[in-house]
Amino acid sequence: MVERTKRDIALDSQLGFWVIETSHEASKKMYGDEVMYHILGVKEEIVPEQLYDFWFERIHPDYVSYVESATKKMGSGQKTEVEYPWNHPELGWILVRCGGNLDRESDVSIRIRGYHHIITNIAKCDVEQFHTHKVVDSYKFSRYAPYLLGAYDEIFEIDPYTYHVKTIAYKKEKYAPTKEKDFSWNAIQERVHEDERNRVREFFSMESIQQLKDKKHPKSIEFRTKTIDQSFIWVKGMAFWLKFNGQNRILFVTQDIQDQKRIDLLTKDNEDIIQSLVSKKSAIIDINLITQRTRVLKWDTEKKINQISTLDALMNNLIHTYVKSDNEVALRKFLSTENLWSCVESKKEKSMDLKFKSEGFDYEWMRFLILVPPNSFDRVFLLIKNINHEQLLQYIMESFIYNSCDYVYYIDFKNDWFIRFANNKKRINLPPEKGSGYEKTMEQFVDSFVPIEDRDMVKNQMDPDNILSQLDTNGYLSFTTGFLEEDDKKQYQYTRKRIEIQYYDKENKIILMQSMDITKSYLKQKQANLELEKAKTKAKMDFLTGLYNRLGCEEMIQSYMEKCEENKLGAFILLDLDNFKLLNDHLGHQKGDEALKAIAQILKESCEDNSIIARLGGDEFIVFLKELHNKNDIHEFIRPLLKKLNLTYSNDKESIHLSVSVGITFFEKEKQATFSTLYEEADKAMYCAKNSGKNNYQIYL
């Protein structure tokens, strides 16, 4: 039983074990266990020399050197693993992981021992999603993906010792296919603009590659490369030193920076463009992150500031000039070196709006904006400008309605008044544009367009007292609901909405409320949940027979026993095949599998639809009969079943007769039995049947 279980585990995991023997005078030989033969798709009768040739000849040609290197390391005493595509006779190309070590060495031969593991499902890469690129080698593309931190145009693998270049992927609408070749001066001349060829050759020189290896940090270069229409564009190339299948490799990727170059040149030639972007009451400050020095490019003449200073001094000056005491921490965090460096690394601008009191004690708003110059790696611009109330309101609206917003409402609970600032023109069913009486208007809208199952929940969430309480506690309120939306054909369709609420003016109880359509993500999640349920169901099934496995069987029976009504009677039947091991040993496992399928089919045909039928593993089956009228009914069920389960299998030399030994126990609701107790009782009865001559049944008393 234990050995059978190990085989099942190995078979389910697609994990076979092998031994390779190398002799000075003979061909290489490979031996495998039964699972190894099964997953290779060959018969066990194949001789060791043929098995080795069969395995080796089906390794993908690009990966033969990896496999040879790995087996050589194993033979020298190193524990080694290697992954490669292998051409299965039935499945086609699959991904395999092999690992092993030295088993025995003599003067005339070397023996290594290891495993063969099919990992196609583990490392599968869905390349169909890459509509813009042609993926040449999907496996290597998936393995190198963690290094691809941006959207790169081309991906190459380079052998640092032979300079052999292999294309992994390229943007097919922009570049012509790159032939697999050695990296040479001719290759540079074919692709690189003549003004940058020497720099590119220097970038890939032996000295430069040695630096890349020693420092373990990526190197970059900018150059012009030829596109599919024979024009040249600026790209940024990045080189990474890494290992693949235990061997050193260079991963080289390119990224289109043509637009950045144009902006950079335009900025250098037209500095007055920056000045025209800002109003009179504004400022531009150049910050060098390496030296921590700042230089004022433009400043509001009404306020005093040093033209050149340190970053700390600038920060203190800004705090003194603009910021209320409760905003000081926020501004210091915004202008911290960590935040400024993060802007440079992400190439994204960041902004913050702060309110301060002017000389007339009126509140004004200032926006602080961090800009990263194109191709800058150590500088940022700090833009400071005044924004009036209308500009601020427009800014809040644009930020708040981002990402599929249906509408934004300004709601004044203190004066019971509301107005809609913005809405999606595609949406037909909207609340009134403005008015008073929020609660009554809200309830009428909910009753008209929210499905009945969500109405009470939505009304409770949108109650003014609940909104203010949630905002005071959490700072925001967010919930989802169904919504009946009218389409162009005047038909109502079910959609999903997310309602988000936040304070605009806490002191005066003014809020902003927006609705966003999340139907697509909702349906996607719903489909994902269905797929998850399918996967859970599959995990509870026996792949060979289509019956429940032990996990599914135990869960189904336990659930029935807990939920069934009082006075219900059931039968727990354990069946164990007689002579099954003999059948496997003499006629082969294929006949054994055929017999297991036949037994399963007979059980399905003999039981009612509501019965629970399972294969526990090996040659054990369970049948759970629900709602028996009385215990004597079991005899009428079992006797004809025993006859049907008498099967004979033959080959040219012999015949093997199969039968079953059956143990039966009964489930009664009032006894509060568990799956484990029923199994133990049926197991004892089954062994009594076996000891009584097999091919019969016993009832546990």
pLDDT in tens, 326-349: 678 888 899 999 999 998 888 888
Specify whether the CB–CB gap between 515 and 567 falls below 8 A: no
* Residue 94 pLDDT greater than 60, yes or no: yes
Task: State the DSSP string of 276-333.
Answer: HTS-SSEEEEEEETTTTEEEEEE--TTS---SEEEHHHHHHHHHHHH--GGGHHHHHH
Q: How would residue 182 be classed by pLDDT, with cut points 50, 70 and 90? A: low
Q: What pLDDT does 124 receive?
A: 47
> Which of 346-350, 537-541, 546-550 has the highest mean predicted lDDT (pLDDT)?
546-550
Q: How far apart are CA 456 and CA 459, in angstroms?
A: 5
pLDDT in tens, 275-292: 434 445 567 888 888 888
Task: Give the containing element (helix H, strand E) for 441.
Answer: helix 438-449
Q: How far apart are CA 390 and CA 133, in angstroms?
A: 45
- Say what percent of the chain tops pLDDT 90: 24
Sign of the dihedral defined by the CA atoms of residues 648, 650, 655, 656, in that order: negative
* Residue 179 pLDDT greater than 80, yes or no: no
- What size, in residues, is the chain? 701
Question: Which region among 257-271, 601-615, 636-650, 682-696 has the lowest average model confidence (pLDDT)?
Answer: 257-271
pLDDT in tens, 385-432: 777 655 555 555 555 554 457 778 888 888 888 887 666 656 667 788
Residue with tokens 């080959």: 651
pLDDT in tens, 12-62: 778 888 999 988 777 889 998 888 888 888 888 889 899 999 999 999 888
Task: State the DSSP string of 215-282.
Answer: H-S-EEEEEEEE-TTS-EEEEEEEEEEEEETTEEEEEEEEEE-HHHHHHHHHHHH-THHHHHTS-SSE
Extract the tokens encoding 353. 């709006």
What three-state secondary structure class fits 383? strand
> Which of 147-161, 397-411, 655-669 has the highest mean predicted lDDT (pLDDT)?
655-669
Task: State the DSSP string of 201-213.
Answer: HHHTSHHHHHHHH
- Kindly report the pTM of this predicted structure: 0.34
Q: How would residue 435 be classed by pLDDT, with cut points 50, 70 and 90? A: confident
Q: Please, which residues bridge with residue 668 across strands? A: 569
Q: What domains does the chain contain, in order, with CATH numbers?
A: 2-118 (3.30.450.20), 127-256 (3.30.450.20), 277-387 (3.30.450.20), 401-522 (3.30.450), 538-699 (3.30.70.270)
Find how far residue 148's CA is from the centre of its chain.
16
For the chain, the straight-line distance linking the first and the last C-alpha, in angstroms and rounded, comes to 26
Q: Which residues contact 658 (CB under 8 A, 6 or more apart)?
A: 577, 578, 579, 580, 583, 595, 645, 646, 647, 648, 649
Q: What pLDDT does 374 receive?
A: 65
> Which of 86-90, 253-257, 675-679 has the highest mean predicted lDDT (pLDDT)?
675-679
Better pLDDT: 644 or 520:
644
Q: How far apart are CA 612 and CA 675, in angstroms?
A: 13
Question: Which region among 40-54, 85-99, 173-187 has the lowest average model confidence (pLDDT)?
Answer: 173-187
Extract the tokens encoding 334. 């915004």
Query: Mean pLDDT score of the chain, rounded to an integer?
Result: 82
Q: How would residue 149 be classed by pLDDT, with cut points 50, 70 and 90? A: very low
Q: Which residues contact 678 (CB under 8 A, 6 or more apart)?
A: 557, 572, 665, 667
Question: Which region among 203-217, 255-269, 577-591 has the lowest average model confidence (pLDDT)?
Answer: 255-269
**Residue 70, phi then psi, degrees to nearest 5:** -65, -45
Burial class (CB in 10 A: 0-12, 13-18, 19+), 185: exposed
Q: What pLDDT does 14 receive?
A: 83
